Structure 1
C-alpha cells in the first residue's frame, strides 16, 4: 500500500528557516511566513522535512489514492523558492500572468526571490487556492 511521504510533522518551522544557509533566502522565508500566515489565518506547520504548509485538506482520487496536504505552502530550496498552490482552477493562470518573474510546474510555482513578485498577487493566489480547495474538499480546514 502506498504511504504518503509528505506528512505534517511537529518539527519547528523557525528552526527549519534558521537552518537555511542563504541569508537572502532566510529573509525571504520569514517574509513569506508572515504573508502566508496573515493571508490564510492558519499557523505554519512543517510538512515533511522542507515544506512549510498552512491549513490542510484530505483528498481522494477516483483511483482510490488518498492523503492529506497543506492548502498552500512554500519551501526555500537551494536553487529557487517553491510556492505550493492548488491546481485545476483557471483563476490561478490569470493571476500568474500578473505575478512577476516566476516559472511554473504542474503543482509548484518557482521564484528566485520575493522582490521579483507582486505581493498583492501572491495574496490573491493564496486566497484563490484556499477557497478553491475548501470548495473542492469541503472538510478542508
Structure 2
C-alpha cells in the first residue's frame, strides 16, 4: 500500500502575509492580535501550515497503524465563523480552565472562540501551555 502524505504541512507563506490578505474585519483584527500573543506564550516561531493555519513548533507522531508524520504543537486559524485555536492533545482534564475561559466550543483538538475581547487571554495561555507541556512529554518536539 502506498504511504499517504500529510496534506497539512509547512508552507513558504509567512503568517504576516496570510493575515494581511484576510478580509478587513474582526477576524483579521483578532488574528493580528493573536499572532504576537501566541509567539510570546509559546516562545516558538510561527509558520503557515497548509493554506489557513498558523502553527507553532513541530512534533513527530506515529499512529498504531504505523502512519507517521509531523504536526504543529499548537496554533490557530482565523476562520470566518470562529477563531480556532489548536491544542493538539485535546481538552481532557482542562475542564476547570475551560470554565474560566469565556464563550467557546470544543472539538477533538479545536477550541472555537468568538471575539477575543470576550476571552480571558490569561486562561487561554494556561490552556495553550498545558497542551504544549503534554505534547513535549509524549513526543519528540522542535521549533521550526
Q: TM-score, normalised by structure 2?
A: 0.91
Pairing of 1:1-141 with structure 2 (within 5 A): 1-88=3-90, 90-137=92-139, 139-141=140-142
Q: Which runs of 5+ in 1 are unaligned?
A: none
Give distance in 1, aligned partners of 2:11 and 2:117.
Answer: 30
The question of whether the paired residues in 1 share the 8 Å contact of 2:89 and 2:134 is answered with no
Does the CA contact (< 8 Å) of 1:58 and 1:140 recur in 2? yes
CA contact (8 A) 2:59 2:72 kept: yes
How many residue pairs get matched?
140
For structure 2, list consecutive stretches of 5 or more residues without a partner in the other structure: none
Aligned equivalents of 2:94 and 2:66: distance in 1? 26
Q: Secondary structure at the match of 2:75?
A: strand
Distance across 2 between alignment mates of 1:74 and 1:36? 9
The runs of at least 4 consecutive aligned structure 1 residues that moved more than 4 Å come to none
With normalisation by structure 1, the TM-score equals 0.93
Q: 2-side partners of 1:57 and 1:25: how far apart?
A: 28
Q: Output the aligned Cα RMSD.
A: 1.3
How far off its partner does 1:89 sit?
5.8
